[in-house]
Structure 1
Amino acid sequence: MKIKKRYLVMYLIMAVAIGAIGTYVGFTFFAGGSNSSTNVASSDRELLVELADHQEALEANMGKMTKVVDAFTVIQDNYLEDVEDKQLIEGAIQGMLQSLEDPYSVYMDQETMEQFNEQIESSFEGIGAEVSMTDGNVTIIAPIKDSPAEKAGLKPNDQVLSVDGESVEGLDLYEAVNKIRGEKGSQVVLEIRRAGVEDNLEIEITRDSIPVETVYSDMYEQNGKQIGVIELTSFSEHTADEFEEELNKLEKDGMDGLVIDVRGNPGGLLPAVEDILKNFVPKDTPYIQIEDPTGKKTRYFSNIDSAKEYPVVTLVNEGSASASEILAAALNEALDYDIVGETSFGKGTVQQTVSMGDGSTIKLTRFRWLTPEGNSINEVGVEPTIEQEMPDYYYTNPVQIDESLTFNQSNNQIANVQIMLEGLGYDTDRTDGYFSEATKEAVEAFQRDQELTVNGEVDEKTAEILQTTIIEKIRNNEEDTQLEKALEVLSK
């Protein structure tokens, strides 16, 4: 069925304005990546009034939609092939959002929204990585803990160029995500562009069920002190409750200090991180400021009288984004708690989602969050007060070779292999990329230990096992120098 021209303007306006107001309970506040869980925001009379004003403004400016209607009619009447009204209307909505050049403001049609909502259940299927659209590129924010993406070696800021040989150029974020996701047990090959690596990488990942567990805790003894560690992998609907439960357990067990580890945490729901901060920041100091579209800044406070009796350190890295950055910045500025690690991702905006009434949704950047002192970290990140990198092998890349690497050669791939071998305890005597006699002996020793053909060459099989072994060591958190530094700071 074709929509008549005289009805199209009202159709578009009603879909946006009335649909938005009529489904206000569908609003969600996001401070994180594209795959964050959802939560229903509470009613807000002022926002309802504001939405009503938007509706009046839209109706008053119907004439401005004439060009859109004319384009719709020209396409319907003159395009070579048949085209559905729905396709054109949804394309118009997508185009408006894309024109904002904001990677976090997106449109999700009904099918995409249904897939998105699966992630608020106990698990979903895919590779397990939070993604964003950065400068037009599908970009990994962080792989989820214990996910196929983490096991395969995906890293923050990796750019996805193609999926199973098909370019993702020109796709919006959710179209790209739908290509990457898939059934448990199926395989997908991602072409990855990684900063500092000359050639693009091809990473094969076996999809799996991704459990949505967000809180892990442990207790360490350091210099006679009990140091609790709570790791937060994202901020979802139940994260704050689970955090408080684990915090109470650690306090009951006599914790002398706390490490909150948000490395690789891409963010999530703003209310979740707010509820966590309310456990620490006293009521006389704001834990966050929110700036609205008019520039008005509102400070938010807890209702607790005093801070904890023990110190807290936050762990961050380049995969720590948005809600993770809110947490680290707030604890630092409000309580002077140290931040250990590396500069974080730099996402300082908050999104709202609104249902369009037909199962589709717009997620729109609406606020900017600021630190307690009013600083913005957007596109800058939160800098650690104590900078600490991980061992060099944590930053190595997959070894993908067409021909074996052999004695007397010299290139970046060999340097990468040398760093891996050193990380596994094999002495190469150098890491500058020259395949020396010592490097050959280290390769031979590794091949013997792995029961491979001992030839002193890094062939395809040796490279595969070397990569798997180093990733396993990383996943086991061996030689976690950032955590060791945090424990050291708290044990003094």
Structure 2
Amino acid sequence: MKKIQLIIGFILTAVLSAALTYNFTQSTNTSLKAIGSDDPFEKLRSTYETIQSDYYQDVDSKELVEGAINGMVESIGDPYSDYMSISEAKSFNENISSSFEGIGAEVQDNNGKIMIVSPIKGSPAEKAGIKPKDKILQVDEKSVEGMTVNEAVMLIRGEKGTKVKLLVERDGVGELELTIIRDTIPLETVYTEVIEGNIGKIQITKFSETTGTELAEALTELNEKNVDGLVLDLRQNPGGLMDQAIGMSELFIPKGKTIMQVENKDGSKEVYKSEKDPALDVPVVVVVDNGTASAAEIMAAALHQSAGIPVVGEKTFGKGTIQSARGFDDGSSVKYTIAKWLTPDGTWVHEKGFKPQYEAKLPEYANLPYLDPDKTLKEGDSSPEVKTAQQMLKAVGYDEIGAEGYFDSGMKQTVEKFQKDQDLTVTGEMTSETIIKLMETIQKQLSDNDTQVKKAIEVLNENN
């Protein structure tokens, strides 16, 4: 307060009279005495009353109270604790219980920045090339600096079919501008298929209210098909409900074995054990990556440490805390961290992640930035986008790409060849049609050459 008084006093001295500065200071000192009290809430009440009575404009009392609550929760400095307004609380509940419209990505606060935890499988965010650990700088050219996670989410979400432009920062790459078309993000969270060698593959995209039921049905389906093994894919899974993680882990962990531990504020621990026997009597391997977080990490660690199931892939995200939410009568709520969760052997993975026993990475081209189909690239252009297009073309078998980052005549000929091979209009320019087809080709190649799943199958065969 003294610092503010001195600064304002200096400005007033420069532009008004000493008498006005003196009067302002007198008034400020009087207010300071009025809020002195051993009761911390007296200071809060006094500030509220002062603003209501003395502020030069009318202020909505509800906004003052919500601002105070929000500031209180923010002061904790915990990226997983938030005050959610009515609309934000509704959006949060939809995310774990039903479909919603948006881009399909889990975000969190990371040292004051809005960071992607993971895009959801098949979502517009995933298709646009959003990656875990990307930091969002702007939404539709509006800076999100200083915003809460919920405020940023409300900007990003929108009606199906509408576009949102994100400026993101990616480690090792720099700033990227992505234009994403919003869509309906479905409730379905479990995807099942049978892959090479009669191996069942189940991908779990998040842990919502219905995921446990979906997983049980998927296991029954694969059991009926007499698969010889199972790959459980938890990549790009941002987590969700803890009770679902426990119930789903029970489907793989022998009765009586530990699933997880919860360490409370006072240091006491609760141990959660499996109360069932495994639902599928075949070898299992789990696949994870740096987008595997929270409840997905609980499950991966539990299956490895308590059921001896191998884990393949990359080190997980590292989110080792548990949140609860308390709602207000008006529909708003406070989400806050209540405890730590520990793996069965007592390890806290927070900010460290869970390391797989078998490391496997995707091909380098899996990390290439997204190309905006709305931007045509042509001969004479020189930009990071041209470099990305060249890398994509090279990844799908076109080696004559010209000088790096420069769209020269050689690059034009390569683009013409790609267009001819794909039955596209041959223009020699990277048009919207060409860019979309190129990215689709990359995605298909990545799916056909999923090195992490191939490693999982290799491990399955070794253990079978």
Query: Shorter-chain-normalised TM-score: which range?
Result: 0.7 to 0.9
Partner of 2:30: none
- Counterpart code for 1:215: V
TM-score, scaled to structure 1: 0.79
**1:213 lines up with 2:188 in the alignment:** yes
Q: Distance in 1 between matches of 2:160 and 2:383?
A: 38
Alignment of 1:165-180 (within 5 A): 165-180=141-156
Contact 1:282 1:307 in 2 (8 A): no
Q: Partner residue of 1:152?
A: 128
For 1:85, give the aligned amino acid: S
1:491 correspondence with 2:461: yes
Q: Report if aligned partners of 1:448, 1:454 keep a CA contact under 8 Å in 2.
A: no
In the alignment, structure 2 segments of 5+ residues that lack a partner are 1-36
Aligned position for 2:288: 316
Structure 1 unaligned spans of 5+: 1-60
- Deviation (angstroms), 1:358: 2.5
Q: Measure how far apart 1:77 and its partner are.
A: 2.3
Tell me which moved more, 372-381 or 61-70: 61-70
Paired residue secondary structure (2:237): coil
Q: What residue is the counterpart of 1:236 in the other structure?
A: 208
Query: 1:182 matched to which residue of 2?
Result: 158
Task: Compute the displacement of 1:71 (Å).
Answer: 1.7
2:27 paired residue number: none
**Which residue identity does 1:169 align to in structure 2?**
E
* 1:249 maps to 2:221: yes
TM-score by length of 2: 0.83
CA distance, structure 2, for counterparts of residue 266 and residue 288 of structure 1: 18
Q: Is contact 2:191–2:202 with CA below 8 Å preserved after alignment? A: yes
CA distance in 2, matches of 1:301, 1:82: 56
Aligned length: 423
**Separation in 1, partners of 2:101, 2:382:** 41
Give the CA deviation at 1:443.
3.5
| Larger CA Rg, structure 1 vs 2 | 2
For 2:176, the equivalent position in structure 1 comes to: 201
Asked if 1:469 corresponds to 2:445, the answer is no
Distance in 1 separating the partners of 2:38 and 2:283: 58
Q: Percent identity?
A: 43
Q: How far apart, CA to CA, are the structure 2 residues paired with 1:380 and 1:453?
A: 49
Q: What letter corresponds to residue 481 of structure 1 in structure 2? A: T
Which SS does the other structure have where 2:391 is aligned?
A: helix
The residue aligned with 2:310 is 338
Pick which of 315-324 and 122-131 moved more.
Answer: 122-131
AA partner of residue 262 (structure 1): L
1:393 paired residue number = 365
**Could you tell me which amino acid in structure 1 is paired with residue 348 of structure 2?**
S
Say whether the 8 Å CA contact 1:420–1:466 is kept in structure 2.
Answer: no
Q: Distance in 2 between matches of 1:473 and 1:343?
A: 24
Pick from 442, 448, 454: which aligns with 1:478? 448
CA distance in 1, matches of 2:199, 2:402: 37
Q: Is contact 2:192-2:202 (8 Å) kept? A: yes
- 1:372 aligns to 2:372 (yes or no): no
Encode CA deviations 1:182-203: one digit per residue, 9 max, x unaligned.
11122211112122223x2221
The one-character-per-residue Cα deviations of 1:394-418 (angstroms, maximum 9, x if unpaired) are 11013469995768x9986555333
1:123 has 2:92 as partner? no
Q: 1:207 to 1:412 in 2, by over 3 A?
A: closer
Q: Letter of the aligned partner of 2:48 in structure 1?
A: F
Q: Residues of 1 paired with 2:441 and 2:85: CA distance?
A: 39
Contact 1:393-1:470 at 8 Å conserved across structures = no
Q: Are residues 258 and 66 of structure 1, via their aligned partners in 2, closer, same or farther at CA, if it must alter by over 3 Å?
A: same
- Equivalent residue runs for 1:438-457 within 5 Å: 441-450=413-422, 451-455=424-428
2:378/2:412 contact within 8 Å kept: no
Q: Which residue type is aligned with residue 370 of structure 1?
A: L
SS in 1 for 2:434: helix
Superposed displacement of residue 320, structure 1: 1.0
C-alpha separation between the residues in 2 aligned to 1:206 and 1:434?
29
Give the Cα–Cα distance (whole angstroms) in 1 for the partners of residues 403 and 340 of structure 2.
44
Give, in whole Å, the separation in 2 of the partners of 1:489 and 1:481. Answer: 12
Distance 1:433 1:339, change over 3 A: farther
Question: Which residue does 1:49 correspond to in 2?
Answer: none
Specify the alignment match of 1:26 in structure 2: none
Cα distance in 2 for residues equivalent to 1:84 and 1:91: 11
| Change in 2 beyond 3 A, CA 1:252/1:415 | same
For the aligned residue pairs, the C-alpha RMSD in angstroms reads 2.8
Query: Is the Cα contact below 8 Å between 1:390 and 1:482 reproduced in 2?
Result: yes
- Could you give the per-residue CA deviations for residues 113-139 of structure 1, whole angstroms, max 9, x where no partner exists? 233333455421112222111121112
Per-residue CA deviation, residues 6-53 of structure 1 (Å, 9 max, x unaligned), is: xxxxxxxxxxxxxxxxxxxxxxxxxxxxxxxxxxxxxxxxxxxxxxxx
Which of the pair has the greater relative contact order for Cα pairs under 8 Å at 6+ separation?
1
Task: State the match for 1:100 in structure 2.
Answer: 76
Out of 276, 299, 310, the position equivalent to 2:248 is 276
